Structure 1
Amino acid sequence: MSNGFEQQKAQASGWFRTLRDQIVAAFEGLEDSDKADTPAGRFEVSETTRATDDGSDAGGGLMSVMRNGRVFEKVGVNVSTVYGALGAPAQAAMAARGVPGMADDPRFWASGISLVAHMQNPHAPAVHMNTRMFWTPHAWWFGGGSDLNPCIEYDDDTAHFHAVQKAHLDPHGADHYPKLKAWADEYFYIPHRNRARGVGGIFMDDHCTGDWQADFALTQDIGRAFLPAYLPLVEKRRDTPWSEADKDTQLIYRGLYAEYNLVYDRGTKFGLATGHDANAVLMSLPPLAKWI
């Protein structure tokens, strides 16, 4: 398993960086095209590193965060490529998910992109997207997806978001969209609130058919679906008049979003457990939130 995967790792990490660059450019373009009198938002970019006890090279990435823009109140687009040996808690978690051989050889490599956007206008939906590749000497897989998180729901926005996801997944097999939609509905659910986090999307994890190229192509199309699924919704809603009651609804919803990310999200747990930059891991949290 360890031989012959260096080229695939490079392909995957390169693709995640390319997708990051496309999204950053598109989001800054939204800021430029908005008619507000305030300055257009720009991403602040910083390097991140994965911490290890012995100080050895363990990889890192780029954290790109925009705050207080015309359209985006806070949006982060992170990419990372990290590697090394998993600690005991992470090994146990991987073993519980069925990854073989972790006790004997805990080496790993992981690369991906993660994005969360929180909007100025309560009528413009928040959104989450990530895709990733994970490798060990014993197994490899892809994961990720995207889901829409409006605090004020519009049925036509939800329909558009899902239709674009389906159009990008259907060439890979008609069964993919319904399977990944159902997976997202199950994963992005908050048990202690008895409700979904948002209006769904698509999600997969531990995806490995044995055909790396086919699985990578599917992962790429999950990423490619994001901008056409999301940008038209922002362009449609960013100028909708809103009230203080609308803003209050948004802040309460953000509290719900924060609860999910801190309690249930696998990416948050993995990032903190493996020593990745805490600010990058917690980039998903909103700038302001409210609890009743």
Structure 2
Amino acid sequence: MKERAVTDLMEAEKARAAEWFVGLRDRIVAAFEELELSQTSGPLADQPPGRFEVSRTRRAAPEGEDAGGGLMSVMRGGRVFEKVGVNVSTVFGALGAEAQAAMAARRGLPGMTEDPRFWASGISLVAHMQNPHCPAVHMNTRMFWTPHGWWFGGGADLNPCIEYDGDTAHFHEVLKAHCEPHGAGEYDRLKAWADDYFHIPHRGRARGVGGIFLDDHCTGDWEADFAFVRDIGSAFLPAYLPLVERRRGMDWDAEEKEIQLVHRGLYAEYNLVYDRGTKFGLATGHDANAVLMSLPPMAKWV
């Protein structure tokens, strides 16, 4: 009976996490569409406001087997956003041999080969902007479960092609304020982790101006860990929206657009070569269009 009670509790916790990610997705989609509607002056203000196109995604699985899926919400060619995707999904099944080995190595879970079941839920967002003065941005939060353990991950990082010190400071200040309730040193730890994770080795540089990154997070206190990942997600809109509102009315020229397109090449290189989420999504059979949603609509290489 005790084992069943523990199982039932974890099922309830998984449901709570999945519901939270959907709610965060809804708030962000609404806020981004409101930005489009309120862009009534400046460049591109005379074109129709962008709206999200929403489609269902499914994880590939043997015929007749339910392996979960989610919602892919993409806006293209708006007044403010050139391309933005906000995806939410809950997927489950059995990890393949490659994913089992990676999980066992990273998490120290040798039992994955005997029982490779998994469950994962989360939200992933990437925004590429029309205006080169508006920074691109990435955010995600997630929960992962196996019979051998559960953990959370998430973070956000800012990717301006034209940097403004005040924008970078604001973004980091808001992230820090949301991390501090979870420990005095947590922001510094997650910032350093982001600096390391979002580094592009073959370019010898970061892909942006940093943020926070957290993975494999399990203190053993599910409620505390869930609260931490919720605060990471809740930090996103107050950290990012003021930057867009500050920059979206600025004029730009062809040289600045060129800088933006070349900088996007860095983003594409990183996501295709190094990003752990991209590799996991493709390796586990999730919808390829949803996994690759993060790629920019246009980019250049010199």
Bucket of the pairwise TM-score, normalised by the shorter protein: over 0.9
- Structure 2 match to 1:206: 216
The amino acid of 2:72's aligned partner reads: M
Q: Contact 2:116 / 2:146 at 8 angstroms: preserved in 1?
A: yes
Match of 1:51 among 48, 60, 64: 60
Q: Contact 1:99 / 1:138 at 8 angstroms: preserved in 2?
A: no
What does 1:155-166 correspond to in 2, within 5 Å? 155-166=165-176
The amino acid of 1:282's aligned partner reads: L
Q: Contact 2:107 / 2:216 at 8 angstroms: preserved in 1?
A: no
Q: How many corresponding residue pairs?
A: 292
- Structure 2 match to 1:11: 16
- Structure 2 match to 1:172: 182
- Structure 1 match to 2:102: 93
Cα displacement string for residues 99-128 of structure 1 (whole angstroms, at most 9, x for unaligned residues): 411011000000000000000000000000
Q: Percent identity?
A: 77
Cα displacement string for residues 73-96 of structure 1 (whole angstroms, at most 9, x for unaligned residues): 000000000000001111111011
Equivalent residue of 1:152, what SS?
Answer: coil
Cα displacement string for residues 176-195 of structure 1 (whole angstroms, at most 9, x for unaligned residues): 10000000000000000000
Q: Which runs of 4+ in 1 moved over 4 A?
A: none
- Structure 2 match to 1:102: 112
The amino acid of 1:155's aligned partner reads: D
- Unmatched segments (≥5 aa) in structure 1: none
Cα displacement string for residues 251-274 of structure 1 (whole angstroms, at most 9, x for unaligned residues): 000011000000000000000000
Match of 1:80 among 77, 85, 89: 89
What does 1:135-284 correspond to in 2, within 5 Å? 135-284=145-294
Q: Measure the CA separation in 2 of the matches of 1:82 and 1:47.
A: 13
Match of 2:50 among 18, 41, 52: 41
The amino acid of 2:69's aligned partner reads: G
The alpha carbon displacement at 1:55 in A equals: 4.2
Q: Measure the CA separation in 2 of the matches of 1:281 and 1:178.
A: 29
- Unmatched segments (≥5 aa) in structure 2: none
Equivalent residue of 2:202, what SS?
Answer: helix
